[in-house]
Amino acid sequence: MATTRSPKPRTGKKPSTEHRPRVERKPRAEQKPGAEHKSRAEAKPRVERKPRADAKPRAEYKPRVAYKPRAEPKSRGEEQSRAEPKARSEHKPRVERQSRADQKPRAEYKPRVEHKPRGRGERSVVPAKAPAHKPDELQRLQKALASGGYGSRRQIEEWIRAGRVSVNGKVATLGVSVRSTDKIILDGKLVSKTRLASAEPRVIMYHKPAGEVCTRNDPEGRPTVFESLPKIGTGRWVVIGRLDFMTTGLLLFTTDGELANKLMHPSGEVEREYAVRVLGEVDLEMLNRLRKGVMLEDGLAKFDTILQVGGEGANSWYHVILREGRNREVRRLWETQGVKVSRLTRVRFGAITLPRSLRAGKWRELTDEETEALNAISG
């Protein structure tokens, strides 16, 4: 019969008999002979270095000075107590000043007004200037509304003819005079009395960039110049001389509609200076025709001055001056000569020049000298 081997028990560890026997290490005598350790006496003696002939002698050793602890500082009161007090006789008596007969009496002390800190989001109140006219002073209706910033004088005259304005319950007519205390209604809305008796008109300059229109509301949704102007409490900004969509440069705005009307009226003949880049060949005959006058769709037009300031060949820069502000007049004048304006910038309006420090899209207030020069032009 075949014998069957019984399976080994499945345990984690093998029985100790199955482990290999431990190998015993041989004693040191049976180990292979190796290099014996040399004794200190057999080692090579240390070679002493000989001093060089040019070597400097070693400095003599100086013992360190012993540290002496600093004495503790005396207190202030102890020093004062040890100091001998001065005798009273050594002190000089205080000389009393005698009041002069012509001396003014001393003003009474007024307590300083405490500064009230502004809250977050509050604005500092700037005192308003003196009003431009007395409240009880009579003035023409169109002049009063124009000064309040409701529109230009010519525009308000058209409103009066159309019967859109009433004074104290009666429909107004041209030539009627009003006071700031009168009840004036425009298109069914009461005109603010404080707006009619407003402070001195403001005038600012604005550097118009390309791509902005000079209307308040554009049906095409394009950006307007009025979006970049500062907000005012009373009145509204009136533009003095418009610029087309792609023209850049100087624009003036005021809260006085009458001043804007005087500066824009053709009878004022205020000079406008433009920097023009012309695309195309320009000869002397063309410049002479532009100086003498060219017939446009809306009448005869001309440049008072034409001055070449740079450029060569097909791209030349000119400075031109004219005394009126028709729609796209500068561009149309050059187009009559078979050339095209590729860039147009207004650099001066009357006595006001566009400063180089004013960047496109920025504005600033006119100085007192500039305002006086502008009022002198308007008369």
Instruction: Write out pLDDT tens, residues 338-365.
Output: 999 999 999 999 999 999 999 999 999 9
Determine the pLDDT at residue 16. 54
Distance from C-alpha of 195 to C-alpha of 152, rounded to nearest angstrom: 15
Q: 119 or 351: whose pLDDT is higher? A: 351
Q: How do residues 147-176 score in pLDDT, each as one tens digit?
A: 777 777 778 888 999 999 999 888 998 888
Mean of all residue pLDDT scores within the chain: 77
Q: Catalytic annotation on 304?
A: no
**What is the pLDDT, as a whole number, of residue 216?**
87
Q: What is the pLDDT of residue 19?
A: 63
The one catalytic residue among 218, 244, 298, 304: 244
pLDDT tens string 14-29: 555 566 777 777 666 5
- Reply yes or no on whether the pLDDT at 108 is more than 70: no
Given a cut of 50, is residue 123 above it in pLDDT?
Answer: no
Domains of the chain in start order, with CATH, are 139-196 (3.10.290.10), 203-266+355-378 (3.30.70.580), 271-349 (3.30.2350.10)
Confidence of residue 241 (pLDDT cuts 50, 70, 90): confident
Classify burial at 296, counting beta carbons within 10 Å of its beta carbon; exposed 0-12, middle 13-18, buried 19 or more.
Answer: middle
Q: What is the pLDDT of residues 185-212, one digit of tens each?
A: 888 888 877 766 655 678 999 999 999 9
Three-state SS for the chain is CCCCCCCCCCCCCCCHHHCCCCCCCCCHHHCCCCCCCCCCCCCCCCCCCCCCCCCCCCCCCCCCCCCCCCCCCCCHHHHHHHCCCCCHHHCCCCCCCCCCCCCCCCCCCCCCCCCCCCCCCCCCCCCCCCECCCCCCCEEHHHHHHHCCCCCHHHHHHHHHCCCEEECCEECCCCCEECCCCCEEECCEECCHHHHCCECCCEEEEEECCCCECCCCCCCCCCEHHHHCCCCCCCCCEEECCCCCCCEEEEEEECCHHHHHHHHCHHHCCCEEEEEEEECCCCHHHHHHHHHCEEECCEEECCCEEEEEEEECCEEEEEEEECCCCCCHHHHHHHCCCCEEEEEEEEEECCEECCCCCCCCCEEECCHHHHHHHHHHHC
